Amino acid sequence: MDAPRDLVFSLWTEPKHLLHWWGPHNCSAPSVSVDLREGGAWRHCILGADGKEYWSRGTYLEISPPERLVFTFAWENEDGKSGHEMHVTIELAESGEGTRLVFRKRELPSDTEFKLQSEGWVEALEKVAAYAEAQAKGSM
C-alpha cells in the first residue's frame, strides 16, 4: 500500500476509518464499535446492496501498534448470538515509503465459508488499500 504503516494500522483500529472501508465492494459499514485494548470487544455491521445487515463481532487478542493486530471474528445470527469463532492476524511491515499488509484468517468452519470469506476479504482489502492511499495523499 502506498501509505505509511502508522496510518494503515489506524485504518484497522479507528471507527472513523473502518466506516469507510469495512466490507466487500457494493457494501457499506453503517455501524462500527471498537474497544481497542487486549480483551476488548469490537462489533461491526456490513450493509449489503440488497439492504440486508450482516453483523460480526470479536475480541482483540493482541495489539502491537503499528505492526500487528490479532482478533477473533464471528458472524452473528439473527438473534445476535455469535457463531463459529475464527482468528484474524494483520501484520504490517514498512516497505519503502509504503506498507506491506499480510492478512491471515484461520479456523474457518467449512470450505464453503472459506470461499465466501476469501472473496469478501479480497474486496475489503482492495477497499482498505484504496482508502489508505487516498488518506495518505490527503484527498479524503
Over the chain (140 residues), the average pLDDT of each successive run of 10 is 97 98 96 98 97 97 98 94 96 96 94 90 97 86
Q: Widest CA span of the chain, in angstroms?
A: 46
Q: Can you state the percent helix, strand and coil of the chain, rounding each to 5?
A: 30, 40, 30
Query: Which pLDDT score, from 0 to 100, does residue 46 have?
Result: 97
Q: What is the pTM of this model?
A: 0.93
Angle between the 111-137 and 5-13 helix axes, to the nearest 10 degrees? 130
Alpha helices in the chain (DSSP H): 5-13, 15-21, 111-137
**Do the Cβ atoms of 135 and 12 come closer than 8 Å?**
no
Alpha helices in 5-110 (DSSP H): 5-13, 15-21
